[in-house]
Every structure is written in C-alpha cells, then in structure tokens.
C-alpha cells in the first residue's frame, strides 16, 4: 500500500541558515525529498534564478494568487511577500513523495493549522551572537535591514513551541544528518503506519 508523502516544514529564525541547510540537503546524491519552490516579490539576489531559487513575481501577481487561493500559506516579511504554491505541495504528497518547505515562522504557523500532521522542524542557532554574525557576514543586507532581521529573529526563536523537533545548526552537515534521521523516524511513527494497516485490514474484510 502506498503511503502519502510527508509534508516537512523546515523553519526557524532569519539568518539561522535555513537556506544553506536546505540546499545542502538537496545537493546530496541520495536525497529522497522534493523541494517546494516558493514565490516571492523580493527582487532576485545576484546569482538567483527564476524557477530555481524562487518564482519571482510582482506584488500585483502575488496578490492575485492570494485571491485565487493558490497559496498554501504566505507571509509578508521585511517588506516582501513570500508564499508556497498549494497545488505542487498536494500533488507531490499524493504521489507518495516527501515535500520540503523552507519558510519563515509566520508561514509555518499557517501550515500547522492546515496540516497538523506535517513534520515541523525548527532550525535553531547555537547562540544569538552566532545568529548576528551570520546575518552580518552574509553581506547582502543594509544596516537597517540587519537590525530588522535580528529583531525578527529574536521574536521568531520564541515560536519554537509550535514545532515537533529542534535541530541546532552548529554545522551544516550535522544539521542535515539530524533532519534525515528525523524524517526516517517519522515514517515509522505508529500513528502514520497504523493508519495504513487499518486501511489494509479493512480491505481484507
């Protein structure tokens, strides 16, 4: 019997390294996940490609998608919209594949309400000092944006309670290993497996 894919939500404060960990996870050869590419109104950073890193849209286009109910969740973050296309996520799960969303915490909260069965992983910084260093050293933000992002990050850390697991991002490779171990274990969770067996047994009657 085919199991539905897992909805894996990787979230956490700004600058914690969600993007880096997610990319490392997908660069590994034996990756068994699919990545849900987000839609954003933020302008592309150097080297970013439309349809690979994000689907880049105007505010008008984004607001139309909201109205048409095409987004599983969305959030306005530091002046730009970010959102997850709902059809891709549903189709991927229905095909039995695990799908990963890498999103900020407001969006993760919305997904939790719609998909309480999802697997919610909070990526945490080893310390606040480390988080600040990472945001500054990324070098892509102005000073004002850095201060904004750090303030957001402090509030975001307080949202850890909404998650099933916490992975400390001390080293990218280690964080990836922990995430893969969590997903493996989640596939064996009794509640998930029992549902499948129940259906099987019902089919036998």
Query: Which residues make up the interface to ligand 5GP (CB under 6 A)?
Result: 14, 18, 38, 42, 73, 75, 77, 82-84, 102-104, 106-107
CA angle 53, 54, 55 (to 5 degrees): 140
Minimum CB–partner distance for residue 104 and ligand 5GP (Å): 4
Shortest separation between residue 103's beta carbon and ligand 5GP, angstroms: 4
- By beta-carbon proximity to ligand 5GP, the closer residue of 11 and 178 is 11
* CB atoms near residue 171 (< 10 Å): 12
Residue with the CB atom nearest ligand 5GP in the bound state: 107
- Closest CB to ligand 5GP among 83 and 118? 83
Query: Is there a contact between 123 and 169 (Cβ–Cβ < 8 Å)?
Result: yes
Closest distance to ligand 5GP from the beta carbon of 41 (Å): 10
- What is the rounded distance in angstroms from the CA atom of residue 110 to the CA atom of residue 170? 27
Cα Rg of the chain, angstroms:
18
Compute how many other C-beta atoms are within 10 angstroms of the C-beta atom of residue 128.
13
Question: Which lies closer to ligand 5GP via its Cβ, residue 140 or residue 193?
Answer: 140
Angle formed by the axes of helices 143-157 and 128-138, nearest 10°: 150
Kind of pairing, strands 7-11 and 55-56? unpaired
**Residue 6 or 105 having the CB closest to ligand 5GP:** 105
| Choice between 79 and 116, CB closer to ligand 5GP | 79
Task: Quote the least distance from Cβ 62 to ligand 5GP, whole Å.
Answer: 11
**Whether 99 contacts 93, CB under 8 Å:** yes
Q: How far is the CB of 89 from ligand 5GP (least distance, A)?
A: 10
Spatial CB neighbours of 144, under 8 Å, sequence gap ≥ 6: none
- Cβ 107 to ligand 5GP, closest distance in Å? 2
Nearer to ligand 5GP, 98 or 104 (CB): 104
């Amino acid at each position: 019997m085919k199991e539905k894919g897992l909805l894996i939500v990787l979230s956490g404060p700004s600058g914690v390294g969600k993007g880096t960990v997610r990319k490392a996870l997908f660069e590994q050869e034996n990756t068994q996940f699919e990545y849900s590419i987000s839609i954003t109104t933020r302008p592309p950073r150097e080297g970013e490609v439309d349809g690979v890193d994000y689907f880049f849209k105007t505010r008008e286009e984004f607001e139309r998608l909201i109205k048409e109910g095409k987004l599983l969740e969305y959030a306005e973050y530091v002046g730009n919209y970010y959102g997850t296309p709902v059809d891709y996520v549903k189709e991927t799960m229905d095909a039995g594949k695990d799908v990963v969303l890498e999103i900020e915490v407001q969006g993760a909260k919305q997904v939790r309400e719609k998909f309480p069965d999802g697997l919610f992983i909070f990526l945490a910084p080893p310390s606040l000092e480390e988080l600040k260093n990472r945001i500054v050293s990324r070098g892509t933000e102005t000073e004002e944006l850095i201060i904004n992002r750090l303030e957001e990050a402090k509030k975001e850390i307080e949202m850890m309670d909404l998650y099933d697991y916490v992975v400390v991002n001390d080293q990218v490779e280690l964080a990836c290993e922990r995430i893969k171990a969590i997903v493996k274990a989640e596939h064996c969770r009794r509640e998930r497996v029992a549902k499948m067996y129940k259906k099987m047994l019902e089919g036998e009657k």
